[in-house]
Structure 1
Amino acid sequence: MKKNILKLSSVIFTTLLFFSCNNDFLERYPLDEVSNETFWNTENDLMVYNNSIYDRARNDNDVPILMAHDDGFDSNNQSFWYLDEFSDNIAPRHSRHNRYQQVRGGVHNVSSGAQMYGWRDGGWAFVRAINVFMDNYPKALDNGVPEATVNKYVGEARLFRAWFYADKISKFGRAPWVDHELNIDSEELYAPLDDRETVMTNVLADLNYACQWMPAQWGDGNDGAPGRLNKWNALLIKSRVCLFEGTWRKYHGLSDATMWLQEAANAAKEIMDDGPYALYDTNDPENDYQAIHKMKSDLTGVPEVMYWRRYQLGVFTNHVQSYHRGYNGGATKSMVEDYLCTDGLPISTSPEYKGDASLRDVFANRDPRLRQTVLHPDDAARWHWNNGDALRTYPRVSGMGGQTSETGYSICKVYEPTTSHASYNVSDTPAIIMRYAEVLLNYAEAMAELGTLDQAGLDMSINLIRDRAGMPDMTMDVPMDPRYANDGVSALISEIRRERRVELFMEGFRYDDLRRWKQGKKLENPDLGMRWDDANKAEIDPEGKATVKTTLVNGVPYIDVYQGTDWAVPVFDENKHYLWPIPLNAIAQNPNITQTPGWE
């Protein structure tokens, strides 16, 4: 036995000696596993890794940048269609939308943990995933992948990082800028937050890199369909981020506003000059505005749609159409009154305005986009609002049964009956994440803020949007609407802001717009609905089933959506509410993080 053991030991020693002399053998890695050492060799490796970044970005709550309809049941309260509920555009009352109501009413507090669309561990894990890529992509260069090829994917990752950080700065004013992978003992885990200037300087560098290196097409010839973000998307994101930052700095008294505004204008103009996009316009002003928002499933080839998210049965679905109708509360009186009359004048000065004694009067002689956004009583049957039940009339308010709205102004802009009445949580309503109209609006606003906008600039931007809607062109000498005379800006800028509110209604911009313009005090105006006097009640609710409450405006009763609730009297504290508080658990984990000013 001892002899056999000695022989076996000799064999093992000889084998180990041989292996110790064979470095190539020792450096081999498992062939059935992917490891950091064996990855990063090919373009396909870079593409596959970035696919995982897209997958993480699909969680809109953790990573609120792409913003679509989330997935399945979660689409009941997470969709870009709901983001206007933070603002004075939409008035929800459903309990699943309490977060929107709290922020809009100024009654939100410092949270102990993760916030909806705010400071979340999943978001910082997203940054870490990007930085893993940034630390490892040079290996592809070492393995012979051409630099221009590698740079496409680097630009893609840096675009995501810039977009994420821009969102965090817009909400918190500070953030921990990290551009490499951290470990459990990394000093950065316990560092103070970086200031706005530091973070946004890095954001702009990332955006510029992405715009330089990302391809106009990825080679599939179908860049208007869901897939990879392209150069034009990067330029739109840059114009959006830079417009926010430039106007924030201008109206909040910070430096370098002009530089950021010029970057915004330049990025938008590059798309306008060289991009393959155009407004969807079939010379049908009564329908063209809402048409793309009602298209089902596939938006491939729609010239206005720059990026969208596909939903597909058995893969990734939503039920946002049905939730949207029941949960959003309806458009507000403030929103409805911002639509111009057909003569191009506001309701405060136009002789065409018929008033609001009846709902049909509200729609008379108004911008056609109003009827394509808010349900006209005559359109319920035409658009199958009742799913074939012709016995119900509209509007319907709380207490009346059926598809009611809190304000009486039901939103029809995105309503499509087939998907609205589809089986529970398995609808395929697509999400338009970027569209060309925003490019035109960003350009016009940035140029106006710079003081360099002229009539030619209006004609190539705002007036294309107005032409599509069948509305008169805007001119440089547009008169001031008395309702906005105290906003502290020119009549031209006021009208561009109005155009933005109308065109982008329910697409998630209004809350951020009010914050960057330093117009938060507008959120102290109560959210009202339609006129609710005896004549309207007799016509709309003859059986007296409505349970709405009212408040008087110049002696006339209007639906008061939040009367009797915790947010009946909205508050906007200029010292704190332009930014959000950091959750307590984040501060507990890193004592060098200080609370957002005003929220201490």
Structure 2
Amino acid sequence: MNIFEKKINKIAILLFVTLLVACNKFDNYLDKAESGGMSEEEVFGNYRETERFLAQIYGSGIKIDWVGGGLWSFSYDGATDNGYCPYRYWPSPKFVYDGTLTSSNNPIDQWADSYAAIRRVNLFLEKIDALPVKSEEEKVGKTRMKGEGYFLRAWFYAELFKRYGTVPLVERVLQVSDDLNISRASTADLINFIIEDCDRSASLLPDTYTTKDLGRATKGAALALKARILLYYASPLHNASNEVDRWEKAANAADQVVKLGVYKLHGSFKDMLHTRNSSETIFQYTANYEDQLRNNLMPSQGGFSIVNPSQELVDAFEMRDGLSVNESPLYDPQNPYADRDPRFKMTLIHNGMSWLGKSIQTFEGGLDGINGSGENYTKTGYYLAKTLDENGSLTPIWRPGSHFFVFMRYAEVLLNYAEAKNEVLSMPDASVYQAVNEVRTRVNMPNLPLGLSKDQMRTRIHNERRIELAFESHRFWDIRRWKIGEQVMKAVHGMKITKSGDTFLYERFKVEDRFYKGTYDLFPIPQSELNRNTALKQNPGYNF
């Protein structure tokens, strides 16, 4: 049993004991509110308790999408052509692409958790207007909290939509006496509801907060969520007839965020993910996720490396002249990592790179080589760098560094705008170029060449998203909304490196075959929910 498995077992035992204690306590409070033993009157009759109730919705409801909602051996990018997870035991990402994803086998399902969070938000929104306040500060805070409630409800429905498509729309706290057989809303009705909640939220929330309130939803977060969900709604998965007005609404919503004038790109692409206070951050998980370092460092540094970047992702990075590896005269197959887009070395670790003063050896026989014994050695020839704070270390001393998961950031908004606006026009205009080039300029990449056609610009934007947002889970959802899974999820490759004297030889090789079908563009509704709610209809392709 390796150190990773031992840690998982310890966590499982701890969780089991915690659940036993929690269940015993819960038996004594069946007639109490969801807040942990207090009645609804006590919670929503006191400003501070109401604030705590809202904080619990943030903390327990919003999932860290980068690592499968807390599942240690799962990585969203590891379930795409961006990466590979070397851990083969449950719930390895392979269930997403090996033909075993079903309504009874989906370890990253979020249906029940999302609806539990929506119920708490609905209760909060039903009670917040009657909350007594004792000062001007509490009066302002009450308005702010109401805006946060609308944002959170929109967030949870948006998360459901990107996973399952349209879902039942529940706008109030349901009682046992209600008819609980609720059919799925029309897609238009669900989207309109999310947009209305985003707009309500934006009208009530401030642009920014002082340090003590960092992490709360802002006006920009509400508008950015609106732009994201409209982009998804406009995409091929949900827009088979390519209704241009959907793209236009998505572009306009993203432009609203830009015109707030609140956000700008962080000076350093690498450091942006390791700070609590960035001009680029729109919505962020503010707790320092210390285990991110251990999860992804290479074994020579004491890490588990739960996800390895793929050769497909490596090939997607342009050369520093803005041309692809197939077009640029700068590309040398015997020195393949030189002269690349600067984000390349900020996203992944390759053979010969330095980490904390040590040269990383991924060649065969090297310290972190591809043929190393144990699951935590790379299987592709690469390790992840993007989410690792270079100020952190596991050896010789524990120094975890800073790891703040960013749910929405300004670079995504710019790329959302560019993608949507390009689909509205017959040819990309200056605003499309400006949005993409702003992202590229941050890392000193050249502007896109003028004169691109609509199709050519679409290809460049898709690739820019892949590079800029790698290992932030976007690729997982982009593959689905663009309906390209069957095209790109056929196999994943790595780079075998052998050393002969002072020379390295590079050989691309297949790590594994992949299986993908259009059915996987949406998750299956859990069978347990279908059993409870007879009005639900399963997504196509999951009725076995």
TM over 0.5: yes
Which amino acid in 1 is paired with 2:296? H
1:91 corresponds in structure 2 to 84
Which amino acid in 2 is paired with 1:292? M
1:24 corresponds in structure 2 to none
Match of 2:211 among 222, 237, 258: 222
Match of 1:275 among 249, 255, 261: 261
Q: Deviations over 1:379-412 (max 9, x none)?
A: 235555779xxxx957621336796311102222
Q: Secondary structure at the match of 2:269?
A: helix
Alpha-carbon distance in 2 for matches of 1:478, 1:471:
17
Question: 2:68·2:108 contact (CA, 8 Å) conserved in 1?
Answer: no
1:497 aligns with 2:488: no
Alpha-carbon distance in 1 for matches of 2:351, 2:231:
38
Match of 1:511 among 476, 491, 514: 476
* Aligned pairs, number: 497
Question: Residue 497 of structure 1: CA displacement?
Answer: 0.8
Which amino acid in 2 is paired with 1:430? F
Q: Deviations over 1:343-400 (max 9, x none)?
A: 2122222222223xx3xx211232121122222433235555779xxxx957621336
Alpha-carbon distance in 2 for matches of 1:266, 1:194:
25
Residues 395 and 352 (structure 1), Cα distance of their counterparts in 2 relative to 1, 3 Å cut: farther
2:145 corresponds in structure 1 to 153
Aligned residues with identical type, % of pairs: 23
State how 1:221-300 maps to structure 2 within 5 Å: 221-222=210-211, 226-248=214-236, 252-254=239-241, 257-281=243-267, 288-293=268-273, 295=274, 299-300=275-276
2:295 corresponds in structure 1 to 323
Match of 1:126 among 117, 123, 137: 117
Match of 1:450 among 424, 429, 433: 424
Match of 2:406 among 420, 423, 432: 432
Question: Residue 460 of structure 1: CA displacement?
Answer: 3.5
Residues 323 and 39 (structure 1), Cα distance of their counterparts in 2 relative to 1, 3 Å cut: closer
Q: Secondary structure at the match of 1:37?
A: helix
Question: Residue 141 of structure 1: CA displacement?
Answer: 7.9
1:525 aligns with 2:490: yes
Alpha-carbon distance in 2 for matches of 1:434, 1:385:
34
Alpha-carbon distance in 2 for matches of 1:338, 1:158:
38
Alpha-carbon distance in 2 for matches of 1:426, 1:444:
36
Q: Secondary structure at the match of 2:349?
A: coil
Residues 49 and 254 (structure 1), Cα distance of their counterparts in 2 relative to 1, 3 Å cut: farther
Which amino acid in 1 is paired with 2:317? Y
Which amino acid in 2 is paired with 1:560? K
Question: 2:414·2:435 contact (CA, 8 Å) conserved in 1?
Answer: yes
Which amino acid in 2 is paired with 1:333? Q
Q: Deviations over 1:448-467 (max 9, x none)?
A: 11117755314532112211
Question: Residue 43 of structure 1: CA displacement?
Answer: 5.1
1:577 corresponds in structure 2 to 520
Question: 2:305·2:384 contact (CA, 8 Å) conserved in 1?
Answer: no
Higher RCO structure (Cα 8 Å, ≥6 apart) = 1
Q: Secondary structure at the match of 1:577?
A: helix
Question: Residue 41 of structure 1: CA displacement?
Answer: 4.5
Q: Secondary structure at the match of 1:216?
A: coil
Match of 2:327 among 349, 370, 395: 349
Alpha-carbon distance in 1 for matches of 2:406, 2:110:
25
Structure showing greater Rg: 1
State how 1:153-172 maps to structure 2 within 5 Å: 153-172=145-164
Alpha-carbon distance in 2 for matches of 1:503, 1:186:
47
Question: Residue 52 of structure 1: CA displacement?
Answer: 2.2
2:28 corresponds in structure 1 to none
Q: Deviations over 1:445-502 (max 9, x none)?
A: 11111117755314532112211211110134238xxxxxxxxx70011001111100
Question: 1:105·1:523 contact (CA, 8 Å) conserved in 2?
Answer: no
Q: Secondary structure at the match of 2:215?
A: coil
Question: Residue 587 of structure 1: CA displacement?
Answer: 1.4
Question: 2:237·2:482 contact (CA, 8 Å) conserved in 1?
Answer: no
Question: Residue 330 of structure 1: CA displacement?
Answer: 1.6
Question: 1:261·1:446 contact (CA, 8 Å) conserved in 2?
Answer: yes
Residues 125 and 401 (structure 1), Cα distance of their counterparts in 2 relative to 1, 3 Å cut: closer
Question: Residue 151 of structure 1: CA displacement?
Answer: 4.2
Q: Secondary structure at the match of 1:243?
A: helix
Question: 2:103·2:527 contact (CA, 8 Å) conserved in 1?
Answer: yes
Question: Structure 2 stretches of 5 or more lacking a match?
Answer: 1-36, 298-303
Q: Deviations over 1:266-318 (max 9, x none)?
A: 2322222223222122xxxxxx322333x4xxx24332233333335xxxx54
TM-score with structure 2 length normalisation?
0.81
TM-score with structure 1 length normalisation?
0.74
Question: 1:311·1:428 contact (CA, 8 Å) conserved in 2?
Answer: no
Alpha-carbon distance in 2 for matches of 1:588, 1:347:
51
State how 1:371-382 maps to structure 2 within 5 Å: 371-382=345-356
Match of 1:101 among 90, 94, 107: 94
Which amino acid in 1 is paired with 2:151? L
Q: Secondary structure at the match of 2:251?
A: helix
Q: Secondary structure at the match of 1:528?
A: strand
2:510 corresponds in structure 1 to 560
Alpha-carbon distance in 2 for matches of 1:371, 1:104:
28
